[in-house]
Each structure stands twice: as structure tokens, then as C-alpha cells.
Amino acid sequence: MAKRDYYEVLGVARDASDDDIKKAYRKQAMKHHPDRNPDDKSAEEKFKEAKEAYEILSDDQKRAAYDRYGHAGVDSSAGGGGFGGGQGFDGFSDAFGGIFDEIFGGRAGGGGGSQRVYRGADLRYTLEISLEEAARGIEKTIRIPVMEECGVCHGSGAKAGTQPKTCPTCGGAGQVRIQQGFFSIQQTCPKCHGSGRIITDPCGECHGAGRVKKQKTLEVKIPAGIDEGMRLRTPGYGEPGVNGGPSGDLFVEIHIKEHSVFERNGDDLHCEMPISFTTAALGGEIEIPTLDGAAGIKIPAETQTGKVFRLRGKGIRNVRSGHHGDLHCHVVVETPVKLTDRQKELLREFDACCREQGSAHNPKAQSWMDKVRDFFSS
């Protein structure tokens, strides 16, 4: 049977980059791997076919020969699609190193007797601040729990006067080689969990961990304009690494307390502004709060509930652009309560006077009633 085009096997274009070829091979190999498809001869053949295609196309010289002469240009060096020629397990390990790290917790192929180095875990801290602090910016002092080197055993995990012993299972490498189907990989040692050492007499302070939990004080600078849910990254303030690995990062996540007056929407602020019935009808001037102090607003006569007054530049400063948002004041006409008999009498006189003038004083009510009549008559 004639061999399929190698680019077709991997499902890539002829001008595909090395990374695209590697990604395509990973996808095909994981899909058709014999361990995932036991007793499936078709899947095994496709796996071998993808392996052969990758061996050729991942090698610049072989790929150039294949592009020029086709299969005839590489038959002598392609290894017939088997596992003996070409790049062998070096190419396979190169393509699958990251995948095996995730699946098996170890590094595929390639030997090596050094201990695994791990980056420390990231930490998250939720910091609650007020709206005013978010608007103006502030420095906060926080205390975070961290794991630090034990001061008694100096990180060895062993009791004073003793030393950890080399793991007899992995010989101190932290990894063991295991057979998976017809290829072998390295996996984290189950005895020492990758450390390469066994502690027979653990330290009484850290109980063999080599690290103890402590509280660290840290100054965090909150920039002006920061918003709900934003995170500040402080590199190196997370958990320390393992076997000399780098420390993780600290992410400070911002939570803004609910404000008694303002509601934030992006860089804009919104607030309700209650005014009296008299002020709404006759007009007047009122004072409203802003984050920078009080501001005066002139209320025109015959103002209705829902009217919005916009104060430009009285919102929040954008944390990136520095541009200030606006303050939107929403008018709410307040109905008088706890009226005296005299006040009620005056309002009844006022209502009777308005009714004598027809709908001139209540255009919205009249318009609404007209719509209701049209609705029921249709």
C-alpha cells in the first residue's frame, strides 16, 4: 500500500512551522496511542504512521529531502515507520515532554539523575478597601501566611545532629524509570516524592517538612482608580520553591465595600438625589456630596422623578488612562409624610385648583390615561 503524504498524516500545511508540526503530532499520537486503544490494530498503525511523519518533518534535512523528492528521498533514513531509525525516542520525548509531566508527574525519556525543581505555589489575598480609598489610591499593610525555611533544621527537615539519607528506591534522583507499553518514561519516585532523600529522624519543629508557617508583613500600594476584582501581582511573595526552585507570586485581589451614597459603574458614579415636592415644582438649588466635597446643583422648575444631572469629571479616575469619569445624580421626588391636618387641607385645595385647570398641570398622567383608553378600546 502506498504511503500517505506526511503532511496529510499530521493534518498540517506544507509550510507549517516546527511548532505546528509538533502540536499536530501530539494530538495524533495521544488520540491513537495503543495504551488508549488496546487491541485496535488500526489505531496502532495510525500511531506508527504519525510517528514516522513526525520523525521526518521535525528534522530540517529530512524535511527538505522529502519536500523535493517525496518518500523516495527519505526511504533510506526514515526507518520504515518503525521505532529503530530516525530520531527514535529523543524526538518522541521532545514532542511529549510537557504532556508526560502533566500525566505522570515526571519527565519523559532522557535520563538525568538530578532532583526535580519545582516553582512555589502562588498565593491569593483578598483585600477589602473603601470606595474613597479605591478612588484616591492608598498604601495598605497586610499580613500573609507564608512557608519559610525552618530555623532549627535550616531546611533539611532532619533532627539536629542527623542528616537525610539518600532514597534507596531512586538512588537520590527523585525519579524512577517505568515502562509504559513499548516505551519508557521517568516518573516521580513514590518513596521520596521527588526529593531524592528519606528523613528517618524528622525535625521536631517542622516535622520533616523543612519549612514552617509564619506571618509576613507586606506593604501594598493600591493605585488610584482600581476597580472591583482587579488583582495586584507581587512577584516572589508566594510559597517558596522546592529543591531550589523559584518562589511563587502573591496576587492581591481587590474587593470594594458597598458605599452608603454612591454606586460605581466603571469610572462613573451614580447616586439618588431626593428632592422635595416643592423644590421639584418651583425649582431651587441643592447641595450634593462628591468624592471631592460638596457641589451645588440648580434644579429647574417642574423637574420630574428620574431626571439625571451629570457632573463631568466628578467620577473615578481611570487606573490606566488617568481620565476621570462622571457623577450621575438621579432625581427622586419625595412624597411628604406625617402631614398635619392643615397641610392635608392645603393639599386638597391645591388638588382641586389643579383639577379646575384640566390636564394642563399633569400632562404625563393625561397622556398615560389616553394610552390606557386606546389599549382597552382596540
Residue 251 is part of a domain; what is its CATH number? 2.10.230.10
Tell me, yes or no, whether 235 lies in a domain. yes
What pLDDT was estimated at residue 310? 95
291 and 328 within one domain: yes
Tell me, yes or no, whether 264 lies in a domain. yes
Range of the domain at 76: 6-104
69 and 19 within one domain: yes
Residue that is last in its domain, among 212, 238, 256: 256
Residues in the chain: 378
CATH number of residue 32's parent domain: 1.10.287.110
What pLDDT was estimated at residue 156? 81
| Overall domain count for the chain | 4
137 and 39 within one domain: no
79 and 198 within one domain: no
131 and 224 within one domain: yes
Tell me, yes or no, whether 134 lies in a domain. yes
330 and 356 within one domain: no
Tell me, yes or no, whether 31 lies in a domain. yes
71 and 138 within one domain: no
What pLDDT was estimated at residue 216? 85
Tell me, yes or no, whether 118 lies in a domain. no
194 and 97 within one domain: no
Residue that is last in its domain, among 212, 231, 256: 256
What pLDDT was estimated at residue 89? 39
Q: For residue 196, list its beta bridge partners.
A: none
Residue that is last in its domain, among 240, 256, 272: 256
246 and 191 within one domain: yes
Tell me, yes or no, whether 109 lies in a domain. no
92 and 174 within one domain: no
CATH number of residue 282's parent domain: 2.60.260.20
Residues of the chain with pLDDT under 70: 1-2, 69, 72-73, 75-118, 179-184, 242-244, 358-360, 363, 365-369, 375, 378
Let me know: does 206 contact 154? Beta carbons within 8 Å: no
150 and 208 within one domain: yes
Tell me, yes or no, whether 378 lies in a domain. yes
Tell me, yes or no, whether 110 lies in a domain. no
145 and 96 within one domain: no
